[in-house]
Protein backbone atom coordinates (compact mmCIF):
# COMPACT_ATOMS: atom_id res chain seq x y z
CA UNK A 1 0.00 0.00 0.00
CA UNK A 2 2.73 2.49 0.96
CA UNK A 3 4.44 1.22 -2.14
CA UNK A 4 1.55 2.55 -4.17
CA UNK A 5 1.58 5.83 -2.24
CA UNK A 6 5.25 6.47 -2.97
CA UNK A 7 4.92 5.51 -6.59
CA UNK A 8 2.12 8.05 -6.84
CA UNK A 9 4.19 10.78 -5.18
CA UNK A 10 7.19 10.04 -7.37
CA UNK A 11 5.07 10.51 -10.46
CA UNK A 12 3.58 13.66 -8.99
CA UNK A 13 6.89 15.26 -7.96
CA UNK A 14 7.92 16.75 -11.34
CA UNK A 15 4.36 17.97 -11.89
CA UNK A 16 4.30 19.67 -8.51
CA UNK A 17 7.56 21.52 -9.14
CA UNK A 18 6.76 22.56 -12.67
CA UNK A 19 3.22 23.57 -11.76
CA UNK A 20 4.59 25.73 -8.92
CA UNK A 21 6.74 27.46 -11.54
CA UNK A 22 3.69 27.78 -13.74
CA UNK A 23 1.57 29.39 -11.04
CA UNK A 24 4.33 31.86 -10.19
CA UNK A 25 4.91 32.90 -13.80
CA UNK A 26 1.26 33.10 -14.78
CA UNK A 27 0.20 34.96 -11.65
CA UNK A 28 2.76 37.59 -12.66
CA UNK A 29 1.18 37.74 -16.13
CA UNK A 30 3.62 35.66 -18.19
CA UNK A 31 2.27 32.58 -19.98
CA UNK A 32 4.11 29.45 -18.82
CA UNK A 33 4.29 27.49 -22.07
CA UNK A 34 8.00 27.01 -21.45
CA UNK A 35 7.55 24.67 -18.46
CA UNK A 36 8.37 21.75 -20.75
CA UNK A 37 11.64 23.38 -21.73
CA UNK A 38 12.50 24.27 -18.13
CA UNK A 39 11.89 20.68 -17.02
CA UNK A 40 14.04 19.29 -19.79
CA UNK A 41 16.83 21.79 -19.16
CA UNK A 42 16.62 20.99 -15.44
CA UNK A 43 16.92 17.26 -16.07
CA UNK A 44 19.80 17.79 -18.44
CA UNK A 45 21.67 20.13 -16.14
CA UNK A 46 21.18 17.79 -13.19
CA UNK A 47 22.43 14.74 -15.04
CA UNK A 48 25.50 16.51 -16.40
CA UNK A 49 26.18 18.30 -13.13
CA UNK A 50 25.91 15.11 -11.09
CA UNK A 51 28.13 13.21 -13.53
CA UNK A 52 30.73 15.94 -13.65
CA UNK A 53 30.97 16.53 -9.91
CA UNK A 54 29.87 13.17 -8.55
CA UNK A 55 27.66 15.16 -6.18
CA UNK A 56 23.91 14.80 -6.49
CA UNK A 57 23.23 18.12 -4.76
CA UNK A 58 25.60 19.90 -7.14
CA UNK A 59 23.63 18.20 -9.90
CA UNK A 60 20.41 19.60 -8.51
CA UNK A 61 21.99 23.04 -8.40
CA UNK A 62 23.19 22.66 -11.98
CA UNK A 63 19.69 21.60 -13.05
CA UNK A 64 18.14 24.62 -11.41
CA UNK A 65 20.81 26.82 -12.97
CA UNK A 66 20.23 25.45 -16.48
CA UNK A 67 16.47 25.91 -16.25
CA UNK A 68 16.85 29.39 -14.80
CA UNK A 69 19.12 30.31 -17.70
CA UNK A 70 16.38 29.29 -20.13
CA UNK A 71 13.92 31.32 -18.07
CA UNK A 72 16.24 34.31 -18.37
CA UNK A 73 16.05 33.98 -22.15
CA UNK A 74 12.28 33.89 -21.89
CA UNK A 75 12.20 36.96 -19.68
CA UNK A 76 14.62 38.86 -21.91
CA UNK A 77 12.63 38.09 -25.05
CA UNK A 78 9.19 38.84 -23.63
CA UNK A 79 10.02 41.65 -21.21
CA UNK A 80 12.95 43.43 -22.81
CA UNK A 81 12.01 42.86 -26.46
CA UNK A 82 8.26 42.48 -25.92
CA UNK A 83 8.24 39.35 -28.04
CA UNK A 84 5.03 37.38 -28.15
CA UNK A 85 4.87 35.06 -25.14
CA UNK A 86 3.31 32.10 -26.94
CA UNK A 87 5.76 32.08 -29.84
CA UNK A 88 8.71 32.57 -27.52
CA UNK A 89 7.50 29.66 -25.40
CA UNK A 90 7.20 27.32 -28.37
CA UNK A 91 10.62 28.38 -29.68
CA UNK A 92 12.35 27.87 -26.34
CA UNK A 93 10.89 24.38 -25.99
CA UNK A 94 12.28 23.60 -29.42
CA UNK A 95 15.62 25.19 -28.51
CA UNK A 96 16.05 23.16 -25.32
CA UNK A 97 15.10 19.96 -27.11
CA UNK A 98 17.71 20.57 -29.82
CA UNK A 99 20.41 22.00 -27.58
CA UNK A 100 20.31 19.20 -24.98
CA UNK A 101 20.72 16.56 -27.68
CA UNK A 102 23.44 18.58 -29.38
CA UNK A 103 25.45 18.92 -26.19
CA UNK A 104 24.80 15.29 -25.27
CA UNK A 105 26.46 14.28 -28.50
CA UNK A 106 29.30 16.70 -27.97
CA UNK A 107 29.97 15.49 -24.42
CA UNK A 108 29.00 11.80 -24.44
CA UNK A 109 28.85 11.09 -28.16
CA UNK A 110 25.31 9.75 -27.84
CA UNK A 111 22.14 11.28 -29.15
CA UNK A 112 19.88 9.29 -26.86
CA UNK A 113 21.17 8.76 -23.33
CA UNK A 114 23.65 10.04 -20.81
CA UNK A 115 25.75 7.52 -18.86
CA UNK A 116 24.14 6.22 -15.68
CA UNK A 117 23.76 8.86 -12.98
CA UNK A 118 24.19 7.41 -9.49
CA UNK A 119 22.58 10.44 -7.91
CA UNK A 120 21.21 9.69 -4.46
CA UNK A 121 21.56 5.96 -4.93
CA UNK A 122 18.35 4.21 -4.02
CA UNK A 123 17.35 7.47 -2.34
CA UNK A 124 14.63 6.18 -0.07
CA UNK A 125 10.94 5.85 -0.67
CA UNK A 126 10.63 9.01 -2.73
CA UNK A 127 13.56 8.20 -4.95
CA UNK A 128 15.59 11.16 -3.76
CA UNK A 129 15.50 13.86 -1.09
CA UNK A 130 14.52 16.23 -3.86
CA UNK A 131 11.12 14.53 -3.83
CA UNK A 132 10.37 15.99 -0.41
CA UNK A 133 11.24 19.45 -1.70
CA UNK A 134 8.88 18.85 -4.59
CA UNK A 135 6.04 18.05 -2.22
CA UNK A 136 6.68 21.34 -0.46
CA UNK A 137 6.91 23.47 -3.60
CA UNK A 138 3.27 24.45 -3.97
CA UNK A 139 2.50 24.98 -0.27
CA UNK A 140 5.62 27.13 -0.09
CA UNK A 141 4.50 29.07 -3.13
CA UNK A 142 1.09 29.56 -1.52
CA UNK A 143 2.84 31.09 1.49
CA UNK A 144 5.00 33.26 -0.77
CA UNK A 145 2.04 34.63 -2.70
CA UNK A 146 -0.24 35.13 0.26
CA UNK A 147 2.13 36.25 2.96
CA UNK A 148 5.06 38.12 1.51
CA UNK A 149 5.68 41.48 -0.07
CA UNK A 150 7.00 39.87 -3.24
CA UNK A 151 3.91 37.67 -3.45
CA UNK A 152 1.59 40.64 -3.11
CA UNK A 153 3.44 42.41 -5.89
CA UNK A 154 3.31 39.35 -8.13
CA UNK A 155 -0.45 39.21 -7.68
CA UNK A 156 -0.74 42.93 -8.41
CA UNK A 157 1.34 42.99 -11.61
CA UNK A 158 -0.44 39.96 -13.06
CA UNK A 159 -3.82 41.46 -12.44
CA UNK A 160 -3.49 45.23 -12.89
CA UNK A 161 -0.01 46.26 -14.02
CA UNK A 162 -1.00 49.90 -14.44
CA UNK A 163 -2.31 50.13 -10.91
CA UNK A 164 0.93 48.55 -9.70
CA UNK A 165 2.93 51.12 -11.64
CA UNK A 166 1.04 54.04 -10.10
CA UNK A 167 1.75 52.48 -6.71
CA UNK A 168 5.45 52.82 -7.47
CA UNK A 169 6.18 49.18 -8.32
CA UNK A 170 8.45 48.24 -11.23
CA UNK A 171 6.32 45.76 -13.15
CA UNK A 172 9.23 44.54 -15.28
CA UNK A 173 11.35 43.81 -12.20
CA UNK A 174 8.66 41.76 -10.50
CA UNK A 175 8.00 39.84 -13.71
CA UNK A 176 11.70 39.15 -14.25
CA UNK A 177 11.97 37.68 -10.78
CA UNK A 178 8.79 35.64 -11.20
CA UNK A 179 9.95 34.16 -14.51
CA UNK A 180 13.40 33.32 -13.11
CA UNK A 181 11.74 31.75 -10.06
CA UNK A 182 9.46 29.80 -12.34
CA UNK A 183 12.49 28.42 -14.18
CA UNK A 184 14.20 27.49 -10.92
CA UNK A 185 11.14 25.64 -9.59
CA UNK A 186 10.57 23.73 -12.81
CA UNK A 187 14.31 23.05 -12.99
CA UNK A 188 14.05 21.36 -9.60
CA UNK A 189 11.36 19.10 -11.06
CA UNK A 190 13.59 18.27 -13.99
CA UNK A 191 16.46 17.46 -11.63
CA UNK A 192 14.20 15.08 -9.70
CA UNK A 193 13.27 13.33 -12.91
CA UNK A 194 16.87 12.80 -14.05
CA UNK A 195 18.08 11.65 -10.62
CA UNK A 196 15.04 9.40 -10.19
CA UNK A 197 15.61 7.72 -13.55
CA UNK A 198 19.39 7.76 -13.05
CA UNK A 199 20.05 9.24 -16.49
CA UNK A 200 19.19 11.91 -18.96
CA UNK A 201 17.61 10.81 -22.18
CA UNK A 202 16.47 13.07 -25.01
CA UNK A 203 12.92 14.30 -24.71
CA UNK A 204 12.59 12.48 -21.38
CA UNK A 205 10.07 15.00 -20.03
CA UNK A 206 7.57 13.72 -22.62
CA UNK A 207 4.95 16.44 -22.21
CA UNK A 208 5.12 16.63 -18.40
CA UNK A 209 5.50 20.41 -18.64
CA UNK A 210 2.23 20.64 -20.51
CA UNK A 211 0.49 18.42 -17.97
CA UNK A 212 1.80 20.77 -15.28
CA UNK A 213 0.42 23.74 -17.21
CA UNK A 214 -2.90 21.94 -17.52
CA UNK A 215 -2.83 21.42 -13.74
CA UNK A 216 -2.27 25.17 -13.23
CA UNK A 217 -5.32 26.00 -15.32
CA UNK A 218 -7.41 23.17 -13.86
CA UNK A 219 -6.34 24.41 -10.42
CA UNK A 220 -7.48 27.90 -11.42
CA UNK A 221 -4.07 29.47 -10.75
CA UNK A 222 -4.37 28.76 -7.04
CA UNK A 223 -1.29 26.97 -5.58
CA UNK A 224 -3.18 24.55 -3.35
CA UNK A 225 -5.83 23.69 -5.89
CA UNK A 226 -3.06 23.25 -8.46
CA UNK A 227 -1.35 20.82 -6.09
CA UNK A 228 -4.61 18.89 -5.96
CA UNK A 229 -4.78 18.81 -9.74
CA UNK A 230 -1.18 17.53 -9.97
CA UNK A 231 -1.94 14.76 -7.49
CA UNK A 232 -5.12 13.89 -9.37
CA UNK A 233 -3.34 13.67 -12.72
CA UNK A 234 -0.53 11.63 -11.13
CA UNK A 235 -3.06 9.29 -9.54
CA UNK A 236 -4.60 8.55 -12.92
CA UNK A 237 -1.14 7.77 -14.28
CA UNK A 238 -0.27 5.55 -11.31
CA UNK A 239 -3.45 3.55 -11.66
CA UNK A 240 -2.85 3.13 -15.34
CA UNK A 241 0.63 1.73 -14.70
CA UNK A 242 -0.69 -0.55 -11.97
CA UNK A 243 -3.52 -1.85 -14.07
CA UNK A 244 -1.45 -2.28 -17.20
CA UNK A 245 -2.46 -5.35 -19.11
CA UNK A 246 -5.26 -6.19 -16.75
CA UNK A 247 -7.69 -3.33 -17.22
CA UNK A 248 -10.22 -2.78 -19.91
CA UNK A 249 -9.27 0.88 -20.22
CA UNK A 250 -6.50 1.44 -22.78
CA UNK A 251 -3.58 3.56 -21.60
CA UNK A 252 -4.28 6.17 -24.25
CA UNK A 253 -7.49 7.06 -22.45
CA UNK A 254 -5.88 7.62 -19.07
CA UNK A 255 -3.30 9.79 -20.83
CA UNK A 256 -6.13 12.01 -21.98
CA UNK A 257 -7.51 12.73 -18.53
CA UNK A 258 -5.50 15.89 -17.67
CA UNK A 259 -6.11 17.48 -21.03
CA UNK A 260 -9.80 16.60 -21.22
CA UNK A 261 -10.39 17.99 -17.72
CA UNK A 262 -8.55 21.17 -18.61
CA UNK A 263 -10.60 21.76 -21.74
CA UNK A 264 -13.79 21.20 -19.73
CA UNK A 265 -12.57 23.67 -17.10
CA UNK A 266 -11.81 26.26 -19.78
CA UNK A 267 -15.13 25.78 -21.52
CA UNK A 268 -17.03 26.50 -18.33
CA UNK A 269 -17.14 29.99 -16.90
CA UNK A 270 -15.05 29.06 -13.88
CA UNK A 271 -11.94 28.52 -15.97
CA UNK A 272 -12.05 31.94 -17.57
CA UNK A 273 -12.90 34.11 -14.60
CA UNK A 274 -9.93 32.87 -12.61
CA UNK A 275 -7.16 33.69 -15.09
CA UNK A 276 -4.89 36.61 -14.14
CA UNK A 277 -6.32 39.59 -16.03
CA UNK A 278 -3.03 40.72 -17.55
CA UNK A 279 -1.88 37.21 -18.57
CA UNK A 280 -0.09 37.25 -21.92
CA UNK A 281 -0.46 40.97 -22.50
CA UNK A 282 2.70 42.91 -23.29
CA UNK A 283 3.32 45.81 -20.98
CA UNK A 284 2.76 49.03 -22.88
Partner 1 sequence: MSRPPGPRWAEALLPPLVALAIALVVGDLLILTFGQSPRIVWGVLLEGTWGNAYGMGQVLYKATTLTCTGLAVAVALRAGLFNIAAESQLAAGGFGAAMAGLALPAGAPAILAVPFCLGAAMTAGAIVGAVPGGLKAKAGANEVIVTICLNFLVLALLNWAVAEHLHVPDSLHTATIRAGGLPRLADVHAAFRGSAGNATVLVAVAAIVATWWGLFRTPGGYALRAVGLSPAAAEYGGVSLGRTWFRALVWSGALAGLGGVNYVLGYKRYYEEGFGFGAGFLGIAVALVGRNHPVGVGIAALLFATLSQGGLAVNALVPKQMMDVLQAVVILAVVASVPEVRRLVAQAVPRRP
Partner 2 sequence: MAGIAKRYGAVAANVEASLEVGRGEIHAICGENGAGKSTLMKILSGGARPDAGTVVVNGRDVTGWGTAEAIAAGVGMVHQHFQLVPTLTVAENLVLGREPTARGRLVLAPALAEIAALCERTGLVIDPVRRVGDLTVGEAQRVEILKALFRGARTLILDEPTAVLSPPEVTDLWRVLRRLRDDGGTIVLITHKLDEVLAAASRVTVMRAGRTVGRLATAGATPADIARAMVGRDVALAARDAGADALATAPPRLVVRDLAVADAAGRRVVDGVSLTVRPGEIVGIAGVEGNGQTELVEAIAGLARVRGGQVTFDGADVTAWPVARRTAAGLAHIPEDRHARGLVLDWSVADNLVLGQQHRFTRAGRLDVRGIAAHAAAQVAAFDIRPGDTSLPARALSGGNQQKVVVARELGGGRDVRVLLAAQPTRGVDVGAIEAIHARLRAARDAGAAVLLVSADLGELLALSTRVLVMYAGRLVHEVEGRVATPEGLGPHMTGAAA
Q: 24 or 96: whose CB is closer to partner 1?
A: 96
252 sits near partner 1 (criterion: CB under 8 A): yes
111 sits near partner 1 (criterion: CB under 8 A): yes
Closest contact distance (angstroms) between CB of 284 and partner 1 is 11
- Per-residue mark of binding to partner 2, 127-166 (x: CB under 8 A): --------------------xxxxxxx-xx--xx-xxx-x
What gap in Å lies between CA 236 and CA 73, rounded to an integer? 34
112 sits near partner 2 (criterion: CB under 8 A): no
272 sits near partner 1 (criterion: CB under 8 A): yes
Q: 4 or 270: whose CB is closer to partner 1?
A: 270
97 sits near partner 1 (criterion: CB under 8 A): yes
What gap in Å lies between CA 73 and CA 110, rounded to an integer? 27
Which of 58, 72, 90, 235 forms a contact with partner 1 (CB under 8 A)? 90
What gap in Å lies between CA 58 and CA 157, rounded to an integer? 34
DSSP code per residue over 96-114: HHHHHHHHHHHHHS-SSBP
What gap in Å lies between CA 249 and CA 255, rounded to an integer? 11
* Site size for partner 2 (CB under 8 A): 19
What gap in Å lies between CA 199 and CA 282, rounded to an integer? 38
How crowded is residue 82: how many other Cβ atoms within 10 Å of its Cβ?
11
What gap in Å lies between CA 133 and CA 245, rounded to an integer? 33
Residues that bind partner 2 (CB under 8 A): 147-153, 155-156, 159-160, 162-164, 166-169, 277
Amino acid sequence: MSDLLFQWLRIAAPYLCAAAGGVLSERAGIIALTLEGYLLAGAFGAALGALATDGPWLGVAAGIGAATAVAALHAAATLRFRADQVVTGVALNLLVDGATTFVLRRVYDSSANSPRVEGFGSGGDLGSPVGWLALLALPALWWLLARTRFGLRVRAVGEAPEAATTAGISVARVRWLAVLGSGALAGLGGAFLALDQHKFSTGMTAGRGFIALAAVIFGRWDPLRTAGACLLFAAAETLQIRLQGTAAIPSQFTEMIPYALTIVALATLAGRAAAPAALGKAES
